[in-house]
Structure 1
Amino acid sequence: MQKILVANRGEIALRVMRTARKMGIATVAVYSEADRGAPHVRFAEEAILLGPAPSSQSYLDMDKVIQAALDTGAEGIHPGYGFLSENAEFSQRVEDAGLIFIGPKPHAIRIMGNKLAAKDAVSAYDIPMVPGIEEAITDVELAGQIGEQIGYPILIKAAAGGGGKGMRIVNGPAELKEGMERAISEAQSAFGDGAVFIEKYVTSPRHIEIQVLADNHGNVVHLFERECSVQRRHQKVVEEAPSVPLSLAPALRAQMGEAAVRCAKACDYRGAGTVEFLLDDQNNFYFLEMNTRLQVEHPVTELITGVDLVEQQIKVARGERLAFTQEDLSITGHALELRVYAEDPLDGFLPSIGTLETYQKPSGEGIRVDDGFEEGMEVPIYYDPMIAKLITYGATRAEALQKMREAIDAYRVEGIATTLPFGRFVVDHEAFISGNFDTHFVKQHYTAEAILEKQQDMEKIAALAAAVIFEDSRRTLTVPVTTGESWKNRIQ
């Protein structure tokens, strides 16, 4: 491939384009009217306007995206994540147009895109499963029977989606009817499919995901794990690699890695993908789902392994074999990622839309910022509110944590609220520092008041420091000057 079209926007579009340029591959950007002046549009060699701001009329319009690739002579399409990245129909239509989809084959997306189909596909590969029902239902009475059978609490999940949508925890029979109705309604609205399934709710889980890579020649490897347990509304905010409990249990790490490889083989996977597991407090792990695309948090894996995952995606898509085996891969150092969302952590993480009046990124050794915004730009309401990913790397976890603190403090954003204060709260919290946390971290430890108290403490410290500096300066500048009369002193 000499030219690829990147069917996405913002930071992930730029991320893909930078690797493509490094490989000597030209890129085509696509954009909506809201993104006309965006950095990814200027970075690419060519750019095509897709349409109005709403994603349904631009980034999700398959015909426009494919036509843009054909019109510009692009040979492949990289979907990034979100939008059309896990759409089996899009993958098929790209291939039907004589183009290369830089991702898995349509059948793999189709299988793993439905949680029930995914469970069925991996069931023959000795993958541990959470107890529950392996079929979609909408009947409340049947759900009640299942709840009694496997025991409460239970988790109702949309069969056709992810990202925390169409998901409800039900602690007992009294909550079942409302939980089912809300889950079904949300699933229908988000995915056009109201089917849900039920499984036992693992009460204190950690969310561990394993990065896999597979080529077209039967080679599959895993690139170790990412810890993704710090979440709000079932969506990740802070991620790291490696995971603290797996670093203490290398045999468990190997078992989970091997299970992820088997999952990839179960659907004849190609490219970069992620297998997600729940890990309970007894170190039992259970298959959750497989994401058939590049993950938002892929940079932490890149930093601890030295592997450029986008480069591997492109190489696999053009038919190359993986240039390394499992034995060639190892973990070096530790990496953390904070998703910097345009959200107000002091107001329930509600979106904060506006102008980036000030936008200054941190920099330095061990600090990486993947973003798609610049000072003065508007944060549009039409798309995901993430404006950047702040990633730090160190030889140890403690070093990566300290670099994250310094990077957060150096990040300057004015005009909108962001999750930067929340990120600082997380990396300063004893539960996170110790590694003793799970997916209930936010619920158990976080309050807006905690951030406000910390900000007030910092303001007091700053005021005291200013007072000390002022007093020191005043003394330095107060110099007795003799004017010939010993009783007369003036301040100069």
Structure 2
Amino acid sequence: MIRKVLVANRGEIARRVFRTCRELGIATVAVHSDADATAPFVSDADQAIRLPGNAPGDTYLRGDLIIEAARAAGADAVHPGYGFLSENAGFARAVESAGLIWIGPAPESIETMGSKIDAKRIMAAAGVPILEVDLATVTPSDLPLLVKASAGGGGRGMRIVASLDRLPGQIAEAEREAASAFGDGTVFVEPYLPTARHVEVQILADTHGTIWVLGDRDCSIQRRHQKVVEEAPAPHLSEATRAVLHDSARAAARAVGYRGAGTVEFLVDSHRVYFLEMNTRLQVEHPVTECVTGLDLVAYQIAVAEGRPLPGPAPAISGHAIEVRLYAEDPAAGFAPQTGRIRTFDFPGVAFGLPDRYGVRVDSAIEDGSDVSVHYDAMLAKVIACADDRDAAIRLLDDALRRGRVHGVVTNLDLLRAVIADDEFTAGRMHTTLLDERLDRWTGGPDPRSVAKAALAAAVGQATRVAATAPVLGRIPAAWRNAAGRPRQRVYRRGPQEYAVTYASTGHRLVSDFVAGVDVLDVRGDRVVLSDGPVRETYRVTVAGDAVDVDGPYGSVGFELVPTFVDPAETVAAGSLLAPMPATITAVSVEVGAVVGKGDPIVVLEAMKMQHTVTAPTAGTVTALTASAGRQVVAGAVLAVIEEIH
């Protein structure tokens, strides 16, 4: 019987496992890097042990330190979560050799399925259809191709190849990224099916020969080959296709003697099914399966690790669930990761954990005051809606995202709302490149009029707050001037757009013509009431330094107050290439004096486990270079200066 579990992971999944352990009466141990010392998952655990350093290679990927921590805390079992060491057969063996219980599949199963190359060979032998291409005889008719890392996932070490002359270079790039992310640079190539669906099957197996197939999930909405939206069951599959998926997943589990929770992933191209890979761990998207089965998959992982049999047949699937991943990233800027401090994280009326039956669930890595660092994955939380049917789940999810308040860093919240409101998604017509095809539409942001009203609320709300807290003349109304006819003005920036909001004081009221047809009815504390024709709308305005957050009927909008005067020292030279996010420089491709063409790589950055190439915006000459390999830079740091060639 397991009495104390160490979770060899961080963030949202560590909190998720701790929650189940508390419900089962199992004591918990967290391990944490220095950057995570104050993270919520650390305080969620009964005990916590420091792993010195910040980089994953120094902390969460150090299996020896984690096993030492388990011994020091008196843990008798280790749960790996997902990512990091969760699919590392050597770590699983080391855990068992240390006399600890490994809450996961047998190391032999992990090893067999950990190599996607070996996994495809085994699946083919088991009669599971696979995708393959022979590089020795590849021709242009085989294009496009997909280069993939054999030892990992999550889009890292993955490249799409559209021309054969680029294939060697793309393989080399994928090998570098795979080696950095997984410690194994082995890659392989397969045909790329851009309009296929990504569908996966959840399995759960015990040590007594029982294999449960717990339905399927559609994970086709992806960016950079990483999932963004997942749902169960996968919509609009024929019964024949669903049967092939489930039978193939069961055959895959049986072929490797699987135990515990795992996922078998497939591409569905029309009605054809192809094996992709098997994830020998819990998946990020496991909550949607929990919602439609009523199971706690972590509890069953623990039960299987204790040697208990699965009780009877697999439960039936009931209802529908949709999950979205909330990332600290800017979709309009190439999904550039964002860092900073979370000022507010709140989804009103929603609790962390599984709803009693239907409702909204939030599994989060953060809370108010949490820091989002450059060292780890950009995912902040998952928002999951469970309902009787798909339409009801979409409606619940949209409402939760509209009411959600996430302030302090740029996120993909607006993108998520745009996705689930899109006609193609609501009709269930998804495929793996749909996000790329509709990115401009989905990153267009909210309605301009609603943003303008939020800017107006920000201006009058901030003006009233400043007046009320003024150390002198505090009784003078906000925006009062002794020179009539000269209104006050505040300028806000949201992305590239600026909003110059003018307003004035008339008696004890604030008035503004910034948005036609909109009047200011009341400003009190952090509450601003506007009227748009006959419609009365209430906004909540929160000020933190130069940041102003506005929550209203259309969702949250964040602004930055533009200073009236700009320090000349803060300007940068024309032609400067700036770091788009805090990152580590991994490669520099040029020297001072080099002549480059538009689009040529200049610097490669690594942040949040992803590599980002900064390219020349125009043809020119490199006149200055501050970047050097191994250096850490902050967002906005000048990397190089390119003088344009006319």
TM-score (norm 1): 0.88
**Which residue in the other structure is 2:230 paired with?**
239
Q: Does the alignment pair 1:441 with 2:434?
A: yes
Q: Does the alignment pair 1:432 with 2:425?
A: yes
- The CA distance in 2 between the partners of 1:92 and 1:102, in whole Å, is 12
- Counting only pairs closer than 5 Å after superposition, residues 171-320 of structure 1 correspond to structure 2 as 171-246=162-237, 249-281=238-270, 283-320=271-308
Output the amino acid matched with 1:322.
L
Output the amino acid matched with 1:427.
I
| Alpha-carbon shift at residue 151 of structure 1 (Å) | 2.3
- The CA distance in 2 between the partners of 1:473 and 1:201, in whole Å, is 50
Alpha carbons of structure 1 residues 254 and 179: separation in structure 2 relative to 1, 3 Å: same
- The CA distance in 2 between the partners of 1:180 and 1:238, in whole Å, is 28
Output the amino acid matched with 2:115.
N
- The CA distance in 1 between the partners of 2:444 and 2:32, in whole Å, is 38
Where structure 2 has 5 or more consecutive residues not aligned to the other structure, the ranges are 351-357, 455-514, 520-529, 537-646
**Which residue in the other structure is 1:399 paired with?**
392
Where structure 1 has 5 or more consecutive residues not aligned to the other structure, the ranges are 134-142, 475-492
Tell me the secondary structure at the aligned position of residue 35 of structure 1. Answer: coil
Alpha carbons of structure 1 residues 349 and 95: separation in structure 2 relative to 1, 3 Å: same
Tell me the secondary structure at the aligned position of residue 400 of structure 1. Answer: helix
| Alpha-carbon shift at residue 190 of structure 1 (Å) | 3.1
| Alpha-carbon shift at residue 132 of structure 1 (Å) | 2.1
Alpha carbons of structure 1 residues 263 and 408: separation in structure 2 relative to 1, 3 Å: same
- The CA distance in 2 between the partners of 1:408 and 1:79, in whole Å, is 30
The structure whose RCO (Cα within 8 Å, separation 6+) is larger is 1
- The CA distance in 1 between the partners of 2:272 and 2:204, in whole Å, is 24
8 Å CA contact retained: 1:132, 1:150: no
**Which residue in the other structure is 2:444 paired with?**
452
Which string of whole-angstrom CA distances, capped at 9 and with x for unpartnered residues, describes residues 125-179 of structure 1? 110111324xxxxxxxxx3x43229722222222222222222222333333333
- The CA distance in 2 between the partners of 1:380 and 1:120, in whole Å, is 39
**Which residue in the other structure is 1:66 paired with?**
67
**Which residue in the other structure is 1:487 paired with?**
none
Output the amino acid matched with 1:459.
V
Which string of whole-angstrom CA distances, capped at 9 and with x for unpartnered residues, describes residues 227-268 of structure 1? 10000000001111111122xx12321221111011011111
8 Å CA contact retained: 2:414, 2:445: no
Tell me the secondary structure at the aligned position of residue 452 of structure 1. Answer: coil
**Which residue in the other structure is 1:324 paired with?**
312
Output the amino acid matched with 1:223.
L
8 Å CA contact retained: 1:237, 1:339: yes
Which string of whole-angstrom CA distances, capped at 9 and with x for unpartnered residues, describes residues 13-71 of structure 1? 11101111111111111112222222222222222122222222222221221111112
Identity %: 47
Q: Does the alignment pair 1:361 with 2:347?
A: yes
| Alpha-carbon shift at residue 208 of structure 1 (Å) | 0.4
- The CA distance in 2 between the partners of 1:473 and 1:314, in whole Å, is 54
Q: Does the alignment pair 1:469 with 2:531?
A: yes
Output the amino acid matched with 1:456.
P
8 Å CA contact retained: 2:129, 2:275: yes
| Alpha-carbon shift at residue 182 of structure 1 (Å) | 2.5
Aligned residues: 458
| Alpha-carbon shift at residue 464 of structure 1 (Å) | 6.9
8 Å CA contact retained: 1:342, 1:387: yes
Tell me the secondary structure at the aligned position of residue 348 of structure 2. Answer: coil
- The CA distance in 1 between the partners of 2:534 and 2:156, in whole Å, is 57
Q: CA RMSD in A?
A: 2.1
Alpha carbons of structure 1 residues 351 and 465: separation in structure 2 relative to 1, 3 Å: farther
Output the amino acid matched with 1:151.
D
Tell me the secondary structure at the aligned position of residue 469 of structure 1. Answer: strand
- Counting only pairs closer than 5 Å after superposition, residues 2-13 of structure 1 correspond to structure 2 as 2-13=3-14
Aligned counterpart for 1:167 among listed residues 158, 161, 169 = 158
- The CA distance in 2 between the partners of 1:219 and 1:357, in whole Å, is 47
- The CA distance in 1 between the partners of 2:31 and 2:156, in whole Å, is 28
| Alpha-carbon shift at residue 472 of structure 1 (Å) | 6.0
8 Å CA contact retained: 1:154, 1:198: yes
Output the amino acid matched with 1:211.
Q
TM-score (norm 2): 0.68
Aligned counterpart for 1:336 among listed residues 309, 312, 322 = 322
**Which residue in the other structure is 2:407 paired with?**
414
Output the amino acid matched with 1:256.
L
| Alpha-carbon shift at residue 348 of structure 1 (Å) | 1.3
**Which residue in the other structure is 2:111 paired with?**
110
**Which residue in the other structure is 1:482 paired with?**
none
**Which residue in the other structure is 1:155 paired with?**
146
Aligned counterpart for 2:363 among listed residues 343, 346, 370 = 370
Alpha carbons of structure 1 residues 46 and 253: separation in structure 2 relative to 1, 3 Å: same
Tell me the secondary structure at the aligned position of residue 98 of structure 1. Answer: coil
Alpha carbons of structure 1 residues 110 and 465: separation in structure 2 relative to 1, 3 Å: farther
- The CA distance in 2 between the partners of 1:126 and 1:164, in whole Å, is 27
- The CA distance in 2 between the partners of 1:457 and 1:440, in whole Å, is 30
Tell me the secondary structure at the aligned position of residue 111 of structure 1. Answer: helix
Per mean C-alpha deviation after superposition, the further-off stretch among 145-154 and 1-10 is: 145-154
Tell me the secondary structure at the aligned position of residue 368 of structure 1. Answer: strand
8 Å CA contact retained: 1:210, 1:224: yes
